[in-house]
C-alpha cells in the first residue's frame, strides 16, 4: 500500500516514483482533485515527472471536502480564522500517518523527544478546537515523558519561572511558541538561555503588527539571549512539517518537497528566485498531496527553502477554477 512506502523514501528517484503513484491514486479516488485535473486537461497518461502534476489551490480546503472516496475522516483539523472568514478543513482519514509524519520529522531534525522538556506557548491555538499543531505538540509533550513539559496559555510568570528552573538544572529544553506570544514573553523578562532552543511557529494572529522574519528573529534572539531562532513550517492542509534551525532556511523530510511556481503563470516553475510555494506532501495520501499555497518563497540549490512573504488576495491567479 502507498501509505506503507511514504516513510521509506531513500532517494530522489524513490520520491518521484512514489509522487506519481500518489497522483494517479488521487486522480482516481479524490473527486475534487480529479475534477480540477480534468479542467486543466491533465490526464494521468500525460504525467511523466512531478512537474507535470497539477497543484490544487489551497483555497479548495475552505470550499470542498477533500478526501478519498469510500473513506471517512478519523479527525478533522481546522485552520484559525478571523471573525467572518471561512476556515480551511482537512479531513484526515488515517491519523496514524500524521503521527508517523511528525514523530519521524522531529527525530530526523532534533533526535528523540525524550531528550527535552517541551514548553508550548500557543495561546491562539489552545483557544480554539481542531488545531493540527496542538495535536502534534501534545503528542510530542507526551513522548518527551518529562514532568516539566506542558502547555502555557497566558501564564507568563509561571513560564518565566519554569524556564529559569530548567536553565539552572541544565535541562535541554524546547520553547515552541507563536510569534506574538514569544514577543510578549521577552517584554516581561529578558533571558540568557544556554540550554533552551527557541522555535517560532509564525504569525501574529492579528495580535501585533506583522514583522519581516529577519526583524522578528533579531528581536527574539536579543530577548532570549540565543544565537539562532528555529522555525516550524506547517499548516492545517499538510500532514508534514519542515524545520529551520536558523536564518529562516527550512529543510523538508524525505516525503515532502517544495517547488516554486511563476507568480504570473501557475503552470510554469522558477528556480533560485522568488515564486509561489507549491508543496508536495506525500503524507496527504488520502486528501491531496499537491498543494499550491499562498506563500512566496525561494528554493535553494540543495532543496532547502526560504519563505519570503505571502500573495495579496488580489494576486492569486486561477481562482475561476474555484467554481468546481
pLDDT at 144: 98
The answer to whether residue 119 scores a pLDDT higher than 70 is: yes
**In this predicted model, what pLDDT tens digit does every residue of 42-82 receive, in sequence order?**
999 999 999 999 999 999 999 999 999 999 999 999 997 65
The answer to whether residue 321 scores a pLDDT higher than 60 is: no
Residues 2-76+254-323, CATH architecture = Roll (2.30)
The answer to whether residue 127 scores a pLDDT higher than 90 is: no
2-76+254-323 matches 97-235 in fold? no
pLDDT at 16: 97
* pTM for the model: 0.93
Domain boundaries, the chain: 2-76+254-323, 97-235
pLDDT at 130: 93
Sorted by sequence, the CB contacts under 8 Å of residue 220 that are 6+ apart come out as 182, 183, 186, 198, 200, 226, 229
Q: Measured in Å, how far apart are the chain's first and last C-alpha atoms?
A: 30
Task: Provide the CATH number for the domain formed by 97-235 in this structure.
Answer: 3.40.50
**In this predicted model, what pLDDT tens digit does every residue of 165-192 receive, in sequence order?**
999 999 999 999 999 999 999 999 999 9
pLDDT at 315: 41
Full 3-state SS string of 50-66: HHHCCCEECCHHHHCCC
> In angstroms, rounded to a whole number, what is the distance separating the alpha carbons of residues 56 and 277?
12
Q: How confident is the model at residue 314 (pLDDT cuts 50, 70, 90)?
A: very low
> In angstroms, rounded to a whole number, what is the distance separating the alpha carbons of residues 158 and 305?
36
**In this predicted model, what pLDDT tens digit does every residue of 207-256 receive, in sequence order?**
778 788 899 999 999 999 999 999 999 999 999 999 999 999 999 999 99
What is the full DSSP assignment across 36-99? Answer: HHHHTT--GGG--SGGGS--EETTHHHHS----TT---SEEEE----TTPPPPEEEES-HHHHH
- Over residues 305-319, the mean pLDDT reads 65
The cell for 245 is 534551525
Amino acid at each position: 500500500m502507498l501509505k506503507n512506502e511514504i516513510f521509506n523514501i531513500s532517494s530522489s528517484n524513490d520520491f518521484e516514483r512514489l509522487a506519481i503513484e500518489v497522483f494517479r491514486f488521487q486522480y482516481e479516488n479524490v473527486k475534487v482533485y480529479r475534477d480540477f485535473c480534468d479542467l486543466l486537461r491533465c490526464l494521468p497518461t500525460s504525467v511523466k515527472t512531478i512537474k507535470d502534476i497539477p497543484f490544487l489551490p489551497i483555497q479548495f480546503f475552505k470550499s470542498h471536502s477533500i478526501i478519498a472516496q469510500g473513506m471517512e475522516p478519523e479527525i478533522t483539523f481546522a485552520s484559525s480564522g478571523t471573525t467572518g472568514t471561512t476556515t480551511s478543513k482537512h479531513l484526515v482519514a488515517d491519523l496514524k500517518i500524521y503521527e508517523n509524519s511528525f514523530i519521524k520529522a522531529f527525530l530526523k531534525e532534533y533526535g528523540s523527544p525524550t531528550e527535552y522538556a517541551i514548553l508550548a506557548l500557543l495561546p491562539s491555538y489552545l483557544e480554539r478546537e481542531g488545531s493540527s499543531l496542538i495535536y502534534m505538540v501534545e503528542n510530542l509533550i507526551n513522548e518527551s515523558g518529562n514532568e516539566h513539559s506542558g502547555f502555557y496559555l497566558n501564564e507568563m510568570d509561571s513560564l518565566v519561572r519554569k524556564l529559569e528552573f530548567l536553565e539552572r538544572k541544565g535541562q535541554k529544553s524546547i520553547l515552541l511558541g507563536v510569534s506574538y506570544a514569544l514577543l510578549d514573553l521577552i517584554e516581561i523578562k529578558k533571558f540568557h538561555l544556554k540550554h533552551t532552543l527557541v522555535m517560532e511557529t509564525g504569525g501574529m494572529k492579528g495580535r501585533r503588527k506583522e514583522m519581516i522574519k529577519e526583524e522578528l528573529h533579531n528581536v527574539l534572539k536579543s530577548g532570549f539571549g540565543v544565537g539562532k531562532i528555529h522555525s516550524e513550517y506547517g499548516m492545517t492542509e499538510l500532514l508534514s512539517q519542515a524545520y529551520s534551525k536558523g536564518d529562516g532556511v527550512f529543510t523538508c523530510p524525505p516525503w515532502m518537497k517544495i517547488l516554486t511556481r511563476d507568480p504570473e503563470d501557475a503552470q510554469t516553475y522558477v528556480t533560485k528566485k522568488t515564486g509561489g510555494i507549491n508543496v508536495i506532501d506525500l503524507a496527504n495520501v488520502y486528501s491531496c498531496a499537491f498543494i499550491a499555497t499562498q506563500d512566496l518563497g525561494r528554493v535553494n540549490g540543495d532543496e532547502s527553502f526560504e519563505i519570503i512573504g505571502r500573495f495579496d488576495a488580489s494576486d492569486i491567479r486561477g481562482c475561476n477554477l474555484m467554481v468546481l
